[in-house]
């Protein structure tokens, strides 16, 4: 399980490789907050290689989204598989986040 | 993590004989994913598959383990969580037992209401109830029993 960050078209892209759950969510949170403190404002989390997300993982995404918005930035999500889509719909978090089908679609409108 | 010896794989139709096994974990949140991976493998060997396994089972049981470690055992690594699994052709039964004094499972907040949507917590029990077909607790609240059927069940009108 790991989180790889890269910069693409002025956007910080984080790839979640594995799960985003209670055991590793702090690592993601710290990585994104470090970038936010460093002045970055546009963030995209790519779930292409993600297995599952638990309630703690969802909580971290909500928390990061709020913190980024408070700084005038935006957090977008991309490449949710069918299970993850269902999870976001079940919790109605699909109404809270900008969720794109692909990384390119998410980056294009930033 | 202790476990029983692996069951023999039987390709083709789903195994007809029920099987049961148990795991015991210290209260270490980093072990949850390892435990879930093992449990999913055992269920796959028993021919459970699809999103019932990869979403409902994985997330539902992961939430139950996290609750047991955090709220039940207070993150005390010397306290253990026991996971008992029964597999039969129709369903998966999971009992998660912690060594705590119990957790108040009656407190229910709907995290999907607009006023709660931006809350950073409070979705764990909601997910367990939404993803599993049957959820029961023992009286003191230190044991949760989860049932997931192979096929999606019609939900009763009253819950």
The structural domains of chain B, ordered by start, are 20-114+122-149 (3.30.565.10)
Backbone φ and ψ of B116, nearest 5°:
-110, -5
Which residues neighbour A89 within 8 Å (Cβ) at sequence distance 6 or greater?
none
Residue with tokens 């879930």: B36
Do B147 and B132 meet the contact criterion of CB atoms below 8 Å apart?
A: yes
Please tell me which of the candidates A55, A95, A96 has its beta carbon nearest to residue B63: A55
Taking the alpha carbons at both ends of chain B, their separation in whole angstroms is: 35
Which has more pLDDT, A63 or B3? A63
pLDDT in tens, A3-28: 999 999 999 999 999 999 999 999 99
Residue A96: list chain B partners with CB under 8 A. 117-118
Q: How far is B82 from chain A (nearest CA, A)?
A: 18
Do A3 and A28 meet the contact criterion of CB atoms below 8 Å apart?
A: yes
Cross-chain Cβ contact B58/A62 below 8 Å: no
What confidence category does residue A79 fall into, taking pLDDT thresholds of 50, 70 and 90? very high
Residue of A nearest to B66 (CA): A22
CA dihedral sign of residues B1, B5, B8, B13: negative
Q: What are the Cα distances from residue B149, in Å, to A49, A82, B155?
A: 27, 20, 12
Cross-chain Cβ contact B123/A63 below 8 Å: no
A109: number of Cβ within 10 Å: 8
Residue B60: list chain A partners with CB under 8 A. none
Do A13 and A44 meet the contact criterion of CB atoms below 8 Å apart?
A: yes
Query: CB contact, 8 Å: A1 with chain B?
Result: yes
User: What pLDDT does residue B151 have?
Assistant: 86
| Residue B14 pLDDT > 90 | no
What confidence category does residue B157 fall into, taking pLDDT thresholds of 50, 70 and 90? low
Reading phi first (left if > 0) and then psi (alpha if -120 to 50, else beta), residue B75 is in left
| Residue B56 pLDDT > 50 | yes
Of A34-43, A57-66, A83-92, B97-106, the one with minimum mean pLDDT is: B97-106
Residue of B nearest to A51 (CA): B54
| Residue B159 pLDDT > 60 | no
What's the CATH architecture for A2-108? 2-Layer Sandwich (3.30)
ipTM of this complex: 0.93
């Amino acid at each position: 399980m790991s989180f790889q960050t890269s910069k693409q078209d002025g956007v910080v892209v984080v790839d979640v490789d594995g799960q985003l759950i209670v055991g590793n969510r702090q690592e993601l949170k710290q990585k994104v907050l470090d970038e936010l403190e460093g002045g970055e404002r546009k963030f995209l989390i790519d779930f292409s290689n993600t297995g599952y997300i638990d309630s703690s993982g969802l909580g971290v995404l909500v928390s990061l989204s709020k913190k980024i918005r408070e700084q005038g930035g935006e957090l977008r999500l991309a490449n949710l598989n069918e299970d993850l889509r269902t999870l976001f719909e079940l919790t109605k978090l699909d109404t809270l986040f900008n969720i794109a089908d692909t990384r390119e679609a998410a980056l294009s409108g930033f | 993590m202790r476990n029983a010896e692996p069951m023999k794989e039987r390709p083709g139709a789903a195994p007809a004989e029920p099987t049961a096994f148990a795991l015991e974990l210290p209260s270490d949140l980093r072990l949850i994913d390892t435990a879930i991976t093992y449990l999913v493998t055992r269920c796959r060997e028993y021919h459970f598959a699809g999103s019932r396994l990869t979403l409902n089972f994985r997330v539902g049981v992961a939430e139950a383990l996290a609750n047991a470690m955090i709220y039940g055992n207070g993150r005390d690594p010397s306290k253990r969580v026991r996971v008992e699994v029964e597999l039969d052709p129709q369903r998966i039964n999971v009992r998660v037992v912690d060594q705590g004094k119990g957790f108040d499972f009656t407190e229910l907040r709907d995290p999907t209401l607009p006023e709660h949507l931006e809350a950073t917590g409070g979705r764990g029990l909601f997910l367990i109830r939404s993803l599993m077909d049957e959820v029961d607790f023992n009286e003191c609240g230190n044991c949760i029993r989860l049932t997931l059927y192979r096929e999606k069940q019609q939900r009763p009108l009253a819950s």
